[in-house]
């Protein structure tokens, strides 16, 4: 590979272009940014290549290190600036940076083949489409393919689901009333159905805890959904789209048995089943590539859908969205139906392949499982100690801690959650929170799940640091809000 040598600017000039921000630059930026920024810290650089820590700059110019359990929107599976991923980007960039959507590159061919091989159940050997915007566009791709193959244009979606922020996927997602100041497009294309939320079961089963359903439950909630699928929706459905474990909505797993029934009814009613595994792919939930594969291998049930979408970690930290469809769907996209200018980035495809190889070679899925178990075990112990920890849900490093006023009432403790998120950086941690569920009058009904989803490369020492700080932040936040 040739070294990249700039021809017009000096290396120093180029380096200064994107580094070394000062107070004035930040104040000036504030005037020009159309986006409101709520985070007071400026993220500067990886503590070291491939680290879970990042260096940040506060308003006074002080630099400190933070362990990021949000993996920057759950995308940095391998941590900040991973050296192998960056080398892959550099290597690819020295050959090609951009091509038109319908032009084949070696990286695209290899990645499509690899993904077709990685996916579980009836998706195996399937067909793959890419984009460089992420999960929203991948989900729209799934919806387009379902529409082409079924000639219907109505979709079943779920309470608390999140599928993107485009004008179509925003509609598919749980509306955030009062906060979003515009209406998304096409509400008549969706029927929103209740999602199984075992901790807050509407049929009053009380033992739905730690991500498991009450042993006595008869999945009454599924019967409601079944009615919609069997004709109670306003139109024939092209597809049903859901996250098998809801992420933004609050780390809520649909019981595997529920997914099995859903698959069965969708097959009978000729409705395409679409899993949005944007968050749960890329070994985030442990030693399997997806949560569907986890159920297949550990529970011996095949709940694999007709289509599945990925983003977040799939690009190794570079922007990539993926749609994979079962080979049983014979239809493909024409060039007009699926494309955007930048959606065939050879860089993101090369970094994706490299990240997958690193994870496989270092068995990072196993590490994710081990670290996840360690963190979850300790959080469950904390649950016994603190009245405000209502539920702890995993698997792997896909962890959500639901905070409540008390275990009996289960009243969501949103103020405590928000306080913890604010305090965390002071203690060297970034923590994430669930999306708000807001009533039509603008009341926040709940935003009470703290998320712990660090890069899957974390060590025992990192896990101890997260746990020690989590408890400290919880105690301090409790003092502030009580």
- Site residues (vs ligand PLP, CB under 6 A): 134-136, 139, 162-164, 243, 247-248, 276, 278-279, 311
Question: 71 is written with which tokens?
Answer: 């993996």
Please check whether residue 434 is in contact with residue 448, taking contact to mean a CB–CB distance below 8 angstroms. yes
Residue whose CB is less far from ligand PLP, 50 or 313:
313
Handedness of CA 55, 60, 62, 67 (dihedral sign): negative
Nearest distance, CB of residue 48 and ligand PLP, angstroms: 27
Which H/E stretch holds residue 226?
Answer: helix 220-227
For the four alpha carbons of 439, 442, 443 and 449, in that order, the dihedral sign comes to: positive
The nearest distance, CB 31 to ligand PLP, in angstroms, is: 27
- Closer by beta carbon to ligand PLP, 51 or else 434: 434
Which three-class secondary structure state does DSSP give residue 232?
helix
Separation between Cα atoms, residue 244 and residue 249, nearest integer Å: 12
Measure CA 19 to chain center: 29
Burial class (CB in 10 A: 0-12, 13-18, 19+), 116: middle
Minimal distance, residue 285 CB to ligand PLP, in Å? 13
Minimum distance, C-beta of residue 408 to ligand PLP, in the bound complex (Å): 31
Q: What is the C-alpha to C-alpha distance for residues 225 and 261, in angstroms, rounded to an integer?
A: 10
Q: Which two tokens stand for residue 409?
A: 């009432």
* Least separation in angstroms between CB 139 and ligand PLP: 6
CB closer to ligand PLP out of 311 and 354? 311
Least distance between ligand PLP and beta carbon 281 (Å): 10
> Between residues 157 and 477, which has the closer beta carbon with respect to ligand PLP?
157
**Of the two residues 120 and 244, which places its CB atom closer to ligand PLP in the complex?**
244
Provide, rounded to whole angstroms, the least separation between the CB of residue 284 and ligand PLP. 11
Distinct helix (H) and strand (E) counts, the chain: 14, 19
Residue number, 248 or 364, with CB nearest to ligand PLP: 248
Question: How many alpha carbons lie under 13 Å from residue 149 in its C-beta half-sphere?
Answer: 23
Nearest residue to ligand PLP by CB is 134
Give CA 237 to chain center in angstroms: 25
Nearer to ligand PLP (CB atom), residue 39 or residue 461:
39
Q: Which is nearer to ligand PLP, 156 or 164 (CB)?
A: 164
Least distance to ligand PLP, CB of residue 74, Å: 7
| SS3 labels along 175-198 | CCCCCCCCCCCCHHHEEEECCCCH
CA–CA separation, 284 and 76 (whole Å) = 11
């Amino acid at each position: 590979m040739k070294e990249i040598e700039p021809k017009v600017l000096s290396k120093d000039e180029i380096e200064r272009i994107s580094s070394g921000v000062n107070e004035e630059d930040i104040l000036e930026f504030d005037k020009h940014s159309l986006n409101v920024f709520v985070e007071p810290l400026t993220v500067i650089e990886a503590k070291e290549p491939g680290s879970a820590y990042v260096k940040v700059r506060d308003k006074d110019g002080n630099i400190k290190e933070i362990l990021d359990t949000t993996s920057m929107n759950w995308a940095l599976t391998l941590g900040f600036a991973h050296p192998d991923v960056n080398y892959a980007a550099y290597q690819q960039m020295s050959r090609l940076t951009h091509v038109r959507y319908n032009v084949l590159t070696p990286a695209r061919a290899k990645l499509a083949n690899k993904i077709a091989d990685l996916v579980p159940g009836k998706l195996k050997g399937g067909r793959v489409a890419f984009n460089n915007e992420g999960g929203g566009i991948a989900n729209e791709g799934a919806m387009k393919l379902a529409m082409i193959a079924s000639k219907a244009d109505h979709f079943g979606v779920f309470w608390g689901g999140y599928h993107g922020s485009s004008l179509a996927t925003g509609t598919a997602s749980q509306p955030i009333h009062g906060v979003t100041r515009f209406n998304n497009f096409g509400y008549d294309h969706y029927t929103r159905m209740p999602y199984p939320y075992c901790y807050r079961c509407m049929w009053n089963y009380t033992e739905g805890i730690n991500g498991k359903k009450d042993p006595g439950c008869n999945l009454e909630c599924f019967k409601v959904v079944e009615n919609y699928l069997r004709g109670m929706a306003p139109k024939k459905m092209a597809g049903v789209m859901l996250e098998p474990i809801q992420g933004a909505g609050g780390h809520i797993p649909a019981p595997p048995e529920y997914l099995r029934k859903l698959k069965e009814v969708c097959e009978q009613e000729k409705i395409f089943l679409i899993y949005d595994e944007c968050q749960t792919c890329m070994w985030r939930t442990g030693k399997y590539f997806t949560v569907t594969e986890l159920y297949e291998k550990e529970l011996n049930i095949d709940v694999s859908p007709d289509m599945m979408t990925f983003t977040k970690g799939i690009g190794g930290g570079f922007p990539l969205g993926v749609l994979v469809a079962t080979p049983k769907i014979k239809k493909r996209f024409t060039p007009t139906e699926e494309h955007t200018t930048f959606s065939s980035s050879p860089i993101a495809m090369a970094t994706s392949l490299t990240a997958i190889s690193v994870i496989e070679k270092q068995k990072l899925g196993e590490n994710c499982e081990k670290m996840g178990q360690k963190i979850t075990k300790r959080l469950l112990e904390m649950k016994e100690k603190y009245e405000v920890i209502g539920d702890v849900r995993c698997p792997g490093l896909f962890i959500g801690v639901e905070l409540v006023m008390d275990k009996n009432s289960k009243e969501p403790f949103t103020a405590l959650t928000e306080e913890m998120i604010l305090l965390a950086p002071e203690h060297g941690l970034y923590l994430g929170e669930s999306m708000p569920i807001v009533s039509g009058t603008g009341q926040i009904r709940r935003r009470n799940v703290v998320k712990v989803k660090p890069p899957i490369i974390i060590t025992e020492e990192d896990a101890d640091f997260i746990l020690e700080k989590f408890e400290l932040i919880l105690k301090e936040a409790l003092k502030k809000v009580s």
